């Protein structure tokens, strides 16, 4: 592939970087695009894996059909089969009508399964079947259906380790991994940092109608040598924050260190395990941590309480009660719709669990009204990082510990560039 084509692709998709491994990934994408081969994209979180399936789709004969990207890690385990493969009416509580899944909806096109390593084993069996024969069965149905879809999957997990632990099917791995494309982490492409910085600072300057931020020589060195655990997403988020907050547009190394300190102290998340607590923190700081932890526990309790109330009302629903209190109900649980057949109400967006809605609403209320959103956010990032570290990066476990849904955790990881 001529390098000119890579240039075109970079321009078309807004991809910045001159690193050899990045060019190799783009080159491979163009080469496999016209085939129907399934592709596995590997790379850490935030490296830009999402560009690969888009390129593959654009340069394939499927480009006029649907392209759909699904974050497998962000969909609750209980609904993932229905989301991907669809369901029949009445196949579970809340399935008030038949629903097409993504595999049916994107027939003829390309599906990008991001975080494929997070799929439950039962879903992996269904996916394997689609890969082998194009066949699938809707949840609650016995009818075999066919779809013609190109699958590009991605993961930032060590999938071989997942296979060894029995969490990922080996046969599925080989089936997905016909061609592997690796996207390099930012710390291996230090030379690209200055180009990415320039692009993002210009983008945010335009977005916020402000002059672009620039770096001193020393601060550029600092950024180039930073390990970037959140990769390009983290760099982008950092530039956005600085662009908005700082009035001085040339960013010194001291200023940068306020945003990305060299050593982030690892403080034990759990109250019961004090072994890792760094006791150099002042009493005031520890007390603040403790209060934030209580606040998060309270939010979790509130979520649980709302969930119980929701279930109670749902099970003993009196239409009059719901109608009379509709405003309050919608405030707490989100938009409701009536199911006229059995007078039971349901959330309008059935893919949202009540606890998802609750958490986000409570969080929004708290940040808007009662607390300084910046310090709460900082604490939240800290808690999330600690929970992920404690659970070896396992989002499901970390979310459970934090008392939030996997979906919310996923959203937050993206939002904060973690
Ligand atoms: N080379 C690049 N040039 C410009 N922007 C980039 C580049 N790589 C990544 N980005 C930007 O960084 C952000 C994160 O990229 P992306 O969502 O593709 O990461 P990812 O590898 O899919 O992460 P995850 O595994 O967490 O889903 C996006 O906003 C993307 O546009």
What does 132-159 look like in DSSP terms, one character per residue?
HHSEEE-BT---EEE---EEEEEESS-H
Distance 96 CA to ligand 1 centre (A): 37
Bridge partners of 86? 100
Q: Would you state the structure tokens that stand for residue 416, as one six-digit string?
A: 């904060």
For ligand 1, say whether the CB of 361 is within 6 Å of any of its atoms.
no
Residue 264 lies in a domain: no
Residues of the chain with pLDDT under 70: 1-4, 263-301, 303-304, 307-308, 310-377
pLDDT, residue 342, reads 41
Which residues, 6 or more positions from 130, have their beta carbon under 8 angstroms from its beta carbon? 103, 136, 147, 149, 151
For residues 173 and 200, membership in a common domain is answered with no
Nearest Cα neighbor of 110 from 160, 68, 81, 162 is: 68
pLDDT attached to residue 317:
56
Residue 42, φ and ψ in degrees, nearest 5: -115, 145
Q: Report the 10 Å Cβ neighbour count for 56.
A: 29
Residues 221 and 288 in one domain: no
Residues 63 and 146 in one domain: yes
Burial (Cβ within 10 Å: 0-12, 13-18, ≥19) of residue 37:
middle
Report the alpha-carbon distance of residue 237 to residue 230 in Å, rounded.
10
Looking at residue 265, its pLDDT comes to 41
Q: Is the CB of 47 under 6 A from ligand 1?
A: yes
| CA 341 to chain CA centroid, nearest Å | 37
368 CB contacts (<8 Å, ≥6 apart)? none
pLDDT at 401: 78
Q: Whose CA is nearest to atom 7 of ligand 1?
A: 48
Q: Say whether both 199 and 312 belong to one domain.
A: no
Q: Please tell me if the CB atom of residue 46 comes closer than 6 angstroms to any atom of ligand 1.
A: yes
Residue 69 beta carbon below 6 angstroms from any ligand 1 atom: no
Same domain? For 246 and 317 the reply is no
Residues 16 and 33 in one domain: yes
Q: Each residue of 154-205: pLDDT tens digit? A: 999 889 999 999 999 999 999 999 999 999 999 999 999 999 999 999 999 9
Residue 232 Cβ contacting ligand 1 at under 6 Å: yes
Domain of 145: which CATH number? 3.40.50.300
Let me know whether 150 and 33 are in one domain. Answer: yes
413 CA: nearest ligand 1 atom: 26
Interval between CA 236 and ligand 1 midpoint (Å): 9
∠113-408-382 over CA atoms, to 5°? 115
Separation of CA 311 and ligand 1 centre (Å) = 39
Q: Is 155 in the pocket of ligand 1 (CB under 6 A)?
A: no
Q: How confident is the model at residue 319, as a pLDDT?
A: 63
Which tokens belong to 386?
A: 């600690």
Residue 45 lies inside a defined structural domain of this protein: yes
Based on the domain organization, do 314 and 411 belong to the same domain? Answer: yes
Evaluate: CB of 19 within 6 angstroms of ligand 1: no
Nearest residue (by CA) to ligand 1, atom 31, is 48
SS3 61: coil
Residues 78, 220, single domain; the answer is no
386 within domain boundaries:
yes
Q: Is residue 277 part of a domain?
A: no
In terms of C-beta density within 10 A (0-12 exposed, 13-18 middle, 19 or more buried), how is residue 110 classed? buried
The alpha-helical segments, DSSP class H, found in 230-335 are 231-245, 253-259, 283-315, 319-324, 326-333
Is residue 332 in contact with ligand 1, taking CB distance under 6 Å?
no
Q: Are strands 67-71 and 110-114 parallel, antiparallel or unpaired?
A: parallel
Say how many Å lie between the CA of residue 244 and the centre of ligand 1. 21
Alpha carbons 27 and 2: distance in angstroms, whole number: 9
Q: Is the CB of 52 under 6 A from ligand 1?
A: no
**Residue 48: inside a domain:** yes
Q: 47 CA to middle of ligand 1, Å? A: 5
Q: What is the 15 CA–ligand 1 centroid distance (Å)? A: 9
**Residues 6+ away with beta carbon under 8 Å from 324:** none
Q: Give the pLDDT of residue 89.
A: 84
Residues 88 and 169 in one domain: yes
Q: What is the pLDDT of residues 227-276, one digit of tens each?
A: 999 999 999 999 999 999 999 999 999 999 999 877 544 333 223 223 33
Instruction: Please indicate, yes or no, if residue 271 is contained in any of the structural domains.
Output: no
The answer to whether residues 198 and 180 belong to one domain is: no
Looking from the CA of residue 51, the nearest atom of ligand 1 is 18
pLDDT at 344: 42
Q: What is the tally of structural domains in the chain?
A: 3
List Cβ neighbours of 156 (8 Å cut-off, separation of 6 or more). 42, 43, 44, 45, 49, 115, 117
Query: Which range of residues forms the domain containing residue 210?
Result: 190-259
In a shared domain, residues 169 and 197: no
CA distance 384 to 388: 6
CATH number, domain of 217, equals 1.10.8.60
* Residue 41 alpha carbon, nearest atom of ligand 1: 21
């Amino acid at each position: 592939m001529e390098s000119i084509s890579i240039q075109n692709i970079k321009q078309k998709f807004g991809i910045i970087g001159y690193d050899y491994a990045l060019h190799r990934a783009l080159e491979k994408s163009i080469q496999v695009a016209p085939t129907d081969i399934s592709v596995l994209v590997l790379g850490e979180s935030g490296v830009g894996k999402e560009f690969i399936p888009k390129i593959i789709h654009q340069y394939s004969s499927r480009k006029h059909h649907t392209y759909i990207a699904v974050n497998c890690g962000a969909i609750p385990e209980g609904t993932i089969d229905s989301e991907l493969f669809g369901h029949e009416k009445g196949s579970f509580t809340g399935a008030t009508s038949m629903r097409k899944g993504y595999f049916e909806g994107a027939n003829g096109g390309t599906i990008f399964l991001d975080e494929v390593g997070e799929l439950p084993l039962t879903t992996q069996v269904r996916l394997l079947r689609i890969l082998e024969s194009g066949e699938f069965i809707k949840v609650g149905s016995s009818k075999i259906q066919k779809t013609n879809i190109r699958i590009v999957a991605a993961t930032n997990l060590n999938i071989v380790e997942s296979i060894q632990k029995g969490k990922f099917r080996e046969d599925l791995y080989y089936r997905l991994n016909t061609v592997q494309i690796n996207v390099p982490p930012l710390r291996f492409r230090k030379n690209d940092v200055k180009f990415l910085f320039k692009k993002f600072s210009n983008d945010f300057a335009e977005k916020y109608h402000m002059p672009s931020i620039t770096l001193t020589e020393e601060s550029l060195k600092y950024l180039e040598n930073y390990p970037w655990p959140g990769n390009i997403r983290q760099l982008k988020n950092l530039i956005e924050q600085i662009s908005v907050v700082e009035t001085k547009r040339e960013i010194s190394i001291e200023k940068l260190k306020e945003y990305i300190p060299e050593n982030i102290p690892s403080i034990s998340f759990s109250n019961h395990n004090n072994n890792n607590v760094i006791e150099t923190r002042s009493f005031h700081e520890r007390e603040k941590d403790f209060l934030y932890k209580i606040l998060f526990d309270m939010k979790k309790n509130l979520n649980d309480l709302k969930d119980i109330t929701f279930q109670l009302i749902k099970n003993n629903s009196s239409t009059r009660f719901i109608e009379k209190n509709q405003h309050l109900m919608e405030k707490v649980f989100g938009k409701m719709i009536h199911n006229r057949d059995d007078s039971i109400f349901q959330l309008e967006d059935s893919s949202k669990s009540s606890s998802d809605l609750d958490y986000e609403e409570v969080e929004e209320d708290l940040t808007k009204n009662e607390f300084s959103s910046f310090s709460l956010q900082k604490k939240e990032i800290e808690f999330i990082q600690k929970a992920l570290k404690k659970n070896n990066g396992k989002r499901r476990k970390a979310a459970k510990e934090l008392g939030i849904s996997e979906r919310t955790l996923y959203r937050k990881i993206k939002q904060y560039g973690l």
